[in-house]
Amino acid sequence: MAYARPSSLESAADGRRLGLETSQGSTPHGREDHPRFFAGFLTSPRIASAGLLAVADVAAARYYQPQLRASLDPVVTGNGDRLRFESFSGCGGVYARLDVLAAGLDGDRIGHGTTNVDVNNPLREALSRIGSDDPLHLRVGPDEMAVTTLGGPVVEKKVPLPDRWLRGFAEAQVVAAGFDLRAELPAAEAVRFLRALPRSGGRGPSQGALWVVPAGRGLRQTTRPVPGAVCLPGPERLAALQRVLRYATALRVYGPPAGTEASAAAAWEVVLPGMRLTLTLSPMASRGSSGEGGVLEALATDEAAEDAELVSVLLAWEPTIDIADLAASSGLSRERVKAALVRLGTSGRVGYDTAEAAYFHRELPYDAARVERHNPRLRSALALLDAGAVTLAGALGTVTAEDGHVHRVREDAGRLSCTCRWWAEYRGGRGPCKHALAVRMARRGATGGAAEGGVADGASNGVPGEADAGRPGARQDEGTTARIDGGAR
């Protein structure tokens, strides 16, 4: 990625000026090398600076195997009425988003588009020293002078953008769409609870899941998923929220209905004046979001692909996507629109805001086909179809794996089960296994021609994220698709 110059915080006669430089991004006018999204003042400079640092903290962190370094630039989206800064941790287990709303901005028109934004170490140090609410001018993208001098030297940053980061964005919006508000704490209780959490923890799931449940105006810990409880796996992964706690007006916690799972994902949102900072945690500290498998059903149907193509032309960088309006405009049912949005999310074209219970439009600056091309379970399922390994007989599907093992896939009330080890281990909790996915696709008449380059013998059912980096026989290459060697499941 190339920036016209490094982002910086400078002093000026009318206050300080924060210039965030942009790289190539997507806008309503197509791809631009250095899009400009905003120029104006931040109404709460100290809070905005702390929020930006929190997002940068997550981008630079690995909460699992912390001895490995991470260095990824956050993504910024202009939605016309707000700016959203997003990042993922290097281990893929924490998604962070700072929404700077209209009340937090005072300036010219907010643009539309998505790009990477340079947050370098000198800028982080300068932001951390902001100690007053003196006027702070924010510029996202090149200023007018810079536009005329972009032919000069650029700042090249050789930062790998691993495929699991893009898959993580996709999985995060899928899982968040199933969340409901479970608790809301006033500022004092929020600060008390978060500051009491441990700052460091174990490396794996052996620590067990921690659950919290509303109790009066606060939260109390419990060891099991009682009704109304929210999972808090790896509480040390909320450390980035410490940056903004002194400015918090409330804490909101979102999660799925409590079930019998050993752990579950959840979103923790700190409400700030004119802003919101949200951290979404994967179900385990050792389990990245990229392997959750929530998007596979949407990737496996040709209907969703066609619907996504139709819905995509109707999106206009909306800060909140109205599904009813899209259904009316497209002529599709609400269910098909939702499936199309999941499909668009797999290429980073929509996200999900738990605070507003709505999708929003953005275009991540990555190759949209990468998530399909590099998703191991999808590629394996397509390869099975290519090899003619799937036979159907009523509710039963038979899949002959690459190693000759035969797996039985049964459908009951729309839910698939399989006799493979993956299903025995996860029971569908991480999406369908490759055999069930292949059967689902076969029933829908899909073909395996899209399996670009096929899949190697022994390819796994998927990438459970960084969890597998510590498992015997696993290979985790930075910036590439991970796989588990040692035979198909």
Note the pLDDT tens digit of each residue in 81-115.
999 999 988 888 899 999 999 999 998 789 999 98
Which pairing describes strands 250-255 and 180-186: parallel, antiparallel, or unpaired? antiparallel
Phi/psi at 314 (5° precision): -95, -10
Q: Where are the domains of the chain?
A: 2-80+104-160, 296-345, 376-484
The whole-number average pLDDT for the span 467-475 is: 33
Report pLDDT digits (tens) over 112-129: 999 888 888 888 888 888
Count of CA atoms in the C-beta half-sphere (13 A) of 241: 35
> Is 481's pLDDT higher than 70?
no
The whole-number average pLDDT for the span 17-35 is: 86
Q: Give long-range contacts, CB 8 A cutoff, 24+ apart: 80-85.
A: 80/110, 80/111, 80/112, 80/317, 80/318, 80/319, 81/110, 81/319, 82/110, 82/319, 83/37, 83/38, 83/110, 83/140, 84/351, 84/360, 84/362, 85/51, 85/52, 85/55, 85/117
pLDDT level of residue 290 (50, 70, 90 thresholds): very low
pLDDT level of residue 373 (50, 70, 90 thresholds): low
- What is d(CA 481, CA 484) in angstroms, rounded to the nearest whole number? 10
DSSP 48-71: HHHHHHHHHHHHT--SSSTTS---
pLDDT level of residue 262 (50, 70, 90 thresholds): low
pTM of the model: 0.76
